[in-house]
């Protein structure tokens, strides 16, 4: 008898059943872009010198002024009412035993990724509502400018704002739509203004500054930032706990994911938030 796929369907099913297709999602961007991270389980106070004195020229034997003053304030991160991102998923032990893949490890990875994505959303664009994180674009004191993806001069204007405040920006954050629009622009010699740095895993640079593309920013919103001015307080990184007893009477297992972060700006002048003009 000739063995065929029709007489052995279980072999084909076994070959394809171990494939699990993950949903498409945006890549994690903020924590990998070089902010200053402080590990703390309580309120974090970062002292900040906001103004200095003005030295003067004094001739030989002259009186040196004693009127110098400096001004301090502080940044407070991780207040006691800062909420965590939390999630619990339940699944039956039958699912574990009957699955053709290691479903428990897959779910752990999946949940950790989901929570990390929610964290990135908050770090970039969180509103701070209900004691949550206030994201970079909603921080007070940041500089603002206009984003025009048809005119590269709007990007140079943003760089000028940084330099006017003695800030050296080191990262662009752009939505994918704005990135592609800028990717199509060429200079007068026919060369694309958005250059690929082939020595850095095809990192794109815009006027010499690395570009991070993320769908966590809406089209028409971009950020130019010195990531050294971004402070992230971390109470606990996305961590997972297996709850074997809580749902024992249902023969279920629970997975609990918890993470707690906060964000602030050491110098808000180090961030320029660009927005497209209304109607553009």
Task: Give the sign of the dihedral formed by CA 157, CA 161, CA 167, CA 170.
Answer: negative
**What confidence tens digit (pLDDT) does each residue in 253-276 have?**
999 999 999 999 999 999 999 999
Q: Quick one: which of 31, 276, 13 has its CA closest to 136?
A: 31
The model's confidence at residue 4, banded by pLDDT at 50, 70 and 90, is: very low
The model's confidence at residue 203, banded by pLDDT at 50, 70 and 90, is: confident
Asked if residue 68 belongs to a domain, the reply is no
Q: Tell whether the model's pLDDT for residue 8 goes beyond 60.
A: no
Asked if residue 64 belongs to a domain, the reply is no
**What confidence tens digit (pLDDT) does each residue in 83-107 have?**
999 999 998 988 888 876 778 888 8
Q: Quick one: which of 146, 148, 123, 147 has its CA closest to 135?
A: 123
More confident residue, 147 or 103: 147
Domain CATH for 138: 3.30.2320.10
DSSP 25-88: -PPP-SGGG--EEEE-SS-EEEEEEEE--------TTPPPP-----EEEEEEES-TTPPPEEEE
- Separation of alpha carbons 113 and 27, rounded Å: 10
Domain count of the chain? 1
The model's confidence at residue 20, banded by pLDDT at 50, 70 and 90, is: low
**In terms of residue numbers, what domain contains 181?**
76-274
Asked if residue 149 belongs to a domain, the reply is yes
pLDDT at 78: 96
Q: In Å, how far from its chain's centre is CA 80?
A: 23
**Non-local CB neighbours of 274 within 8 Å, separated by 6+ positions:** 144, 145, 146, 147, 154, 155, 158, 221, 222, 223, 224
| pTM of the predicted structure, to 2 decimals | 0.84
Q: Indicate the helix (H) or strand (E) that contains 42.
A: none
Asked if residue 4 belongs to a domain, the reply is no
Asked if residue 69 belongs to a domain, the reply is no
The model's confidence at residue 3, banded by pLDDT at 50, 70 and 90, is: very low
Across the chain, mean pLDDT equals 87
């Amino acid at each position: 008898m000739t063995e065929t796929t029709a007489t052995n369907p279980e072999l084909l099913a076994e070959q394809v059943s171990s494939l699990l297709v993950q949903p498409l999602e945006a890549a994690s961007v903020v924590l990998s872009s070089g902010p200053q991270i402080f590990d703390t389980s309580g309120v974090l106070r970062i002292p900040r010198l906001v103004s200095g004195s003005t030295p003067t020229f004094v001739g030989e034997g002259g009186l040196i002024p004693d009127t110098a003053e400096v001004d301090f304030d502080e940044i407070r991160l991780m207040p006691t009412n800062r909420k965590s991102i939390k999630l619990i998923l339940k699944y039956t032990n039958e699912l574990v035993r009957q699955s053709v893949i290691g479903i428990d490890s897959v779910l752990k990875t999946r949940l950790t990724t989901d929570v990390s994505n929610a964290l990135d959303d908050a770090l970039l664009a969180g509103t701070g509502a209900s004691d949550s994180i206030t994201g970079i674009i909603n921080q007070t004191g940041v500089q603002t400018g206009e984003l025009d993806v048809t005119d590269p001069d709007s990007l140079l204007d943003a760089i000028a704002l940084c330099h006017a405040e003695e800030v050296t920006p080191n990262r662009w954050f752009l939505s994918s739509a704005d990135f592609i629009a800028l990717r199509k622009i060429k200079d007068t010699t026919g060369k694309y203004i958005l250059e690929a740095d082939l020595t850095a895993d095809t990192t794109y640079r815009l006027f010499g500054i690395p570009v991070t593309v993320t769908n966590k920013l809406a089209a028409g919103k971009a950020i130019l930032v010195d990531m050294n001015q971004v402070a992230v307080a971390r109470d606990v990184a996305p961590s997972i706990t297996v709850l074997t007893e809580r749902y024992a009477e249902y023969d279920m297992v629970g997975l609990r994911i918890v993470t707690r972060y906060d964000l602030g700006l050491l110098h808000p002048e180090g961030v320029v938030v660009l927005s497209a003009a209304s109607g553009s």
